[in-house]
Amino acid sequence: MSRRALTLLIAGFLVLALGVIGAFQPVPYVVLSPGPTENTIGEVDKKPVISIKDRQTYPTSGALSLVTVAYQGGPNARIDLLTALRGWIDPSVAVVPEETIFAPDRTAQEVEEENTVEMSNSQETATAAALNELKIPYKMVVTVATTQKGRPADGKLRAEDVIDSVDGKPASDVNVVGDTVKAHKPGETVVFGVTRGQEKLEISVPTVAGEEGQALVGVEMRAAYQFPFDVDINVGDVGGPSAGLMFSLGIVDKLTPGELTGGKKIAGTGTIDSTGQVGPIGGIAQKMVGAKESGATIFLTPADNCAEAMRAAPDGLRLVRADTLHGAVQALDALRTGNGNVPACEAG
């Protein structure tokens, strides 16, 4: 073999070796792919996804499925270049920079914990939206989320305490409690009326000066709901707020006679607030693929996601625009009966 041929052979081998090594080097990207779907009026692990106690419920059929996005990668488990390249050529997945999912100052565990909290909050909000749709009254309460270590409330107020009053004034919302505390001079005492379990207590807490000089006690609060019956939602290892609309529809379906689906397999997505407003979500393309693979023929789509959804919708999946919970219920009624308007996603 000539020297030139040997040089080319060695160079080619080195290029190939470097290419192989490079293909398995970790890269700061995340692969998003269609995740599992769960029928909110069905079961997971032989348990109902939505269980309602102490209230009459009605049988239903079909599916009202939430859809999810699975991800591969992240700061603690980075994908290699070869995996990223496969994702870039697969139309059913997306490859995005790592920082779009994991902020640089947050760990993967922190993201997972936040997703769990968002899922829990979305279940409560979805229940509130469903009860509003059905005109079933419930109460809003102010609860203690946590106390700040070393502040006066630490050791006096506890997480999950319901704050009924502050200085004898009804605690109608979080702002009322906060403003009443701030109205004090640092060093003065605030009297909280709380419910702890089944016990009613009056707890006096001294104030201290905050960074801006205002009085504070070191308590973080959140608004919570007290429903007239128990609604338990079981979805296993699923996080985030984007299943709110489908939870609400599942609750409405179970609490009303007849079948909201008309026996059809329907999937959808969207955040929801207590008034029933539907908000946009991420990963719409992957969620539609998951919906189609689950057998769904109709996909409830947040209005703000319609344009993107129209560009990526799989064949045979009908997109129905969902602006509000009430609108979604009306659209499903129209699909079932053949009467009325079914709002569609439109380009624009």
The crossing angle, in degrees rounded to 10, of helices 81-88 and 3-23 is 80
Structure-block tokens of residue 87? 């994702």
- The catalytically annotated residue of 156, 254, 264, 287 is 287
Q: Tell which residue, 144, 123, 140, has the closest CA to residue 196.
A: 144
- The catalytically annotated residue of 33, 65, 122, 242 is 242
Distant-in-sequence, close-in-space partners of 339: CB < 8 Å, separation ≥ 6: 333
What does 275-330 look like in DSSP terms, one character per residue?
A: T-BEE--S-HHHHHHHHHHTT-SEEEEEGGGHHHHHHHPPTT-EEEEESBHHHHHH
- Give, for 15, the enclosing helix (H) or strand (E): helix 3-23
- Using CB atoms within 10 A of its CB, is residue 286 exposed (0-12), middle (13-18) or buried (19+)? buried
Distance in angstroms (rounded) separating the CA atoms of residues 49 and 98 = 32
Task: Note if 287 is an active site residue.
Answer: yes
The answer for 263, left when phi > 0, alpha when psi is -120 to 50, beta otherwise, is left
Distance in angstroms (rounded) separating the CA atoms of residues 65 and 70 = 16
Q: Residues of 183-199 as b/e, b for ≥16 C-beta within 10 angstroms? A: ebeeeeebebbbeeeee
Q: Tell which residue, 153, 125, 105, has the closest CA to residue 231.
A: 125
Amino acid at 324: T
Task: Note if 292 is an active site residue.
Answer: no
Positions annotated as catalytic residues are 242, 287
